[in-house]
Structure 1
């Protein structure tokens, strides 16, 4: 397919810079999935028979992962009455930290244990965030609400629902737009948490009229315009628990960053400088390259130049 329109370019961005149906076997993904199995084996060996489940979370579970992946999120949850891993949430967090620290170089974060690298020198495709937690109800298959430990803040635990968060994003119909927005975030160092960005995009596009999710350029323009013109009036809530306060991660500085970067993006989009927003893409197929050159020659015989959003 020749890159002749903004949507052609954005499709190429999805194929080259995110995990899509065409690159599910990407080496990065294989390595991360393999590493998850290693973590699972370590925990099962340390806590044999414990009702400890290790679930994919974050962008991998939501189908919004970009390439190369920055990290992989794993939820390590125990059943409500399970005590083999620890009596309290803090115990569970600390015990998983100590167990994984035998194999990995680790860091403690607010609600996760981050695996940075393997101590044996074997490379990892990306860091892995292991989030310890405990299910609240006996039947976790029917009710997946849980408490996760927090190392800082007023409360030492946070009530949420991983599956509800994943479903909210994965089934929104806007995962491709979220992927593109994450590429924009990374390319331009936009200061916003991915979780906040996801919630904002879903809310804005769910309320937008006459915007098709398949029209990537129109969707991005709609999102950026909302950031630029109305960011102060947009509210979001945690689909895992509406009572959770998100003001700490959706504050004035985050809103200012979104507004400023969105304004710049719209200016570039208006003059078809999409590669300035999401970076260049490669045309790898020679036949496709010839087709693009021919289309340029026919349409602009006096000045043969490539579209500004494609690099040939």
Structure 2
């Protein structure tokens, strides 16, 4: 997949994102096989949704049925695409979990399938998770699991903030430290930004073009006062009204452990030129690194 068709950007700044379905090189297994629906049919490159054509998987009726693909290596996975059966029983996939990890028995849930229409293909985007095993499991008794195609993609998004220009509500000369590509969390040694103690302090990066934002990574200071980020809002949009604080909300920071980097996936993909972090109370806003990923 390539998205360089726009003529609005000069070639020097055109962003190309090439996505390879790494599941095609994987080895598929499942908890059981029923009705000749072999596990490999979900990674055969064929998205035909008619079960009778022999291109979809099928388990027996059982407790917690699962399907798994073992990738050739450990990858930083940030997107999975699932194609549902189209000729019958589309509701059976409701509630399925997508889980990723380096050990097939210890995986991290990255998404839950609420429902999929008959024959529909849905893409699930999330912050990158390193792992070799991608599992699809439906919790519960007396369940079938059928998949017509599963595609797995390794993150190739660029940190758009590195190209941006940063500013903040006070002590403006420090703002660029949060987009210097350095996750060092030592505030006292000059690696982080901070504002004055004020009401609703904010920090903002101008990406210079409008992008579709997939997720944001935020590194908290590690040598002092990590609680200062609690409650911070991440907002994305094209408006500078009210210093960008009125743009759509991507996510709210509950807390980040000292010196740690946390990923925040917007509840829906947001488009915007400006990414603003705002503390909606009296306080000091400090960021050690802000990374913005999208295309």
Give the TM-score, by structure 2 length.
Answer: 0.26
Q: Specify which structure has the higher proportion of helix.
A: 1
Give the TM-score, by structure 1 length.
Answer: 0.25
Q: Specify which structure has the higher proportion of strand.
A: 2
